[in-house]
């Protein structure tokens, strides 16, 4: 499971962006996602996207992809920094491209829309 951390300025901004990503994934893609507003994260079958406010301590945090952390992102993600995924639409597109869909999942989403 991939872990993606996205830097935000405030807790409120992190909650809004997590909600936006969840709505995009729920309404426009075949990805099944869960929203956890307490931890400000969106969880799919293959990815966890967590929004980190600037007030959080970053000691010991590691992830697969870091977005918006600058030089600190190289330490957090072992050099795998993706600043091109700064918008929720681009992030949703990346999640859809990296997810392997089964035919059952696609049929389930079509029935329940």
Res. 113 pLDDT band, cuts 50 70 90: low
Q: Domain residues for 57?
A: 2-99
In this structure, is residue 85 part of a structural domain? yes
Q: Which of 27, 30, 12, 39 is nearest to 104 (CA)?
A: 30
Write out pLDDT tens, residues 52-64.
998 888 777 889 9
Check residue 107 and give its pLDDT: 65
Most confident of the following: 12-16, 57-61, 66-70: 12-16
Query: Reduced to 3 states, what is the DSSP secondary structure of residue 90?
Result: helix
With respect to residue 110, please indicate whether it lies within any of the assigned structural domains.
no
Domains identified in the chain, total number = 1
Structure tokens that stand for 10 in this block: 């405030």
Edge-first strand listing for the sheet containing 41-44: 33-36, 41-44, 47-53, 2-8, 65-67
- Residues 74-98 have a mean pLDDT of 89
Q: Is residue 111 part of a domain?
A: no
pLDDT of amino acid 56: 86
In a domain, 104, yes or no: no
Q: Is residue 105 situated within a structural domain? A: no
User: Does residue 51 sit in helix, strand or coil?
Assistant: strand
Instruction: State the pairing for strand pair 41-44/47-53.
Output: antiparallel
Number of Cβ within 10 Å of residue 42's Cβ equals 31
Q: Let me know if residue 25 belongs to a domain.
A: yes
Across the range 58-85, mean pLDDT stands at 87
Distance of alpha carbon 74 from alpha carbon 21, whole angstroms: 24
């Amino acid at each position: 499971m991939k872990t993606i951390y996205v830097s935000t300025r405030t807790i409120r901004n992190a909650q809004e962006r997590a909600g936006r990503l969840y709505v995009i994934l729920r309404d426009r893609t075949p990805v099944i996602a869960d929203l956890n507003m307490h931890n400000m994260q969106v969880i799919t079958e293959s990815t966890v996207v967590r929004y980190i406010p600037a007030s959080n301590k970053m000691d010991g945090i590691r992830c697969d992809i870091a977005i918006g952390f600058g030089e600190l992102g190289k330490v957090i993600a072992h050099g795998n920094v993706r600043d091109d995924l700064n918008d929720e639409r681009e992030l949703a597109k990346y999640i859809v491209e990296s997810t392997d869909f089964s035919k059952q999942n696609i049929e389930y989403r079509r029935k329940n829309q």
